[in-house]
């Protein structure tokens, strides 16, 4: 896989100083929920991923977006990005050629040189054919994870760890929340870093916050 055209060099560091201070939407929870998050949150997630990678990235206004969700800038080069969050097994949705055509048209109207579609799903053959003709970069669900692994590998590790059922202590960030017993054998949730970390909560609170959703 080759993302070098879009994502390799870290330029415009000064330009990004302000944006870098924003709170990022990319955390391990969102990595786990990529296929179920809203389309809008998916766009924010990708924008923040690009910014973290040292690129300038902006969301387009919702109204009349020309089929473009994010504009990524590296030096003088602009890339129009269409973000397609889809759950393949919900609607059997693949990204088809209409999306490719719409992005090609939109980028042309705005004079943007490069185009790219990023999805959690995959692309139809027709979509891939037209994209190849147009020099458009397509990033499917697998490649998206590859991209995350390249830019924020620790997020994937964290997401996988959480999938195993471990919940990180919100206070110290390194311990794991675990059932403990207090005086009179009353159980509560504490941190594995106890006594260094004294974070604790009631079991009911733990269940509402982390188990029941």
Which residue's CB is nearer to Zn ion, number 88 or number 167? 167
Cα(148)–Cα(162) distance, integer angstroms:
17
Residue 85's nearest CA partner among 115, 43, 50 is: 43
Shortest separation between residue 79's beta carbon and Zn ion, angstroms: 41
Shortest separation between residue 150's beta carbon and Zn ion, angstroms: 30
Q: Which of residues 191-210 bind Zn ion (CB under 5 A)?
A: 191, 193, 197, 199
**One residue of 72, 139, 169, 189 binding Zn ion per CB under 5 A:** 169
**One residue of 54, 67, 106, 175 binding Zn ion per CB under 5 A:** 175
Shortest separation between residue 207's beta carbon and Zn ion, angstroms: 18
The dihedral built from the CA positions of residue 158, 159, 160 and 161, taken in this order, carries a sign that is: positive
Kindly state whether residue 167 participates in binding Zn ion, applying the rule CB under 5 A: no
Shortest separation between residue 174's beta carbon and Zn ion, angstroms: 7
Residue 10's nearest CA partner among 73, 50, 72, 54 is: 54
Cα(188)–Cα(202) distance, integer angstroms:
5
Burial class (CB in 10 A: 0-12, 13-18, 19+), 69: buried
Which residues contribute to the site for Zn ion (CB under 5 A)? 169, 171-172, 175, 191, 193, 197, 199
């Amino acid at each position: 896989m080759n993302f070098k055209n879009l994502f390799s060099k870290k330029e415009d560091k000064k330009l990004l100083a302000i944006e870098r201070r924003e709170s990022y939407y990319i955390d391990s929870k969102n990595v786990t929920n990529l296929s179920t998050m809203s389309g809008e949150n998916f766009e924010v997630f990708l924008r923040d991923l690009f910014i973290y990678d040292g690129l300038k990235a902006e969301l387009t206004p919702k109204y009349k977006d020309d089929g473009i969700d994010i504009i990524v800038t590296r030096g003088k080069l602009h890339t129009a990005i269409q973000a397609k969050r889809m759950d393949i097994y919900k609607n059997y949705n693949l990204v088809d050629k209409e999306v490719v055509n719409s992005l090609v048209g939109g980028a042309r109207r705005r004079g943007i040189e490069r185009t790219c579609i990023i999805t959690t799903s995959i692309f139809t053959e027709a979509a891939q054919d037209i994209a190849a003709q147009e020099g458009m970069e397509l990033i499917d669900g697998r490649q998206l994870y590859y991209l995350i692994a390249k830019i924020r590998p620790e997020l994937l590790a964290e997401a996988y760890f959480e999938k195993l059922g471990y919940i990180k202590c919100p206070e110290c960030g390194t311990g794991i929340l675990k059932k403990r017993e207090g005086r009179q054998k009353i159980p509560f949730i504490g941190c594995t870093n106890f006594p260094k970390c004294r974070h604790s909560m009631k079991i009911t609170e733990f269940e509402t916050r982390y188990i029941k959703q």
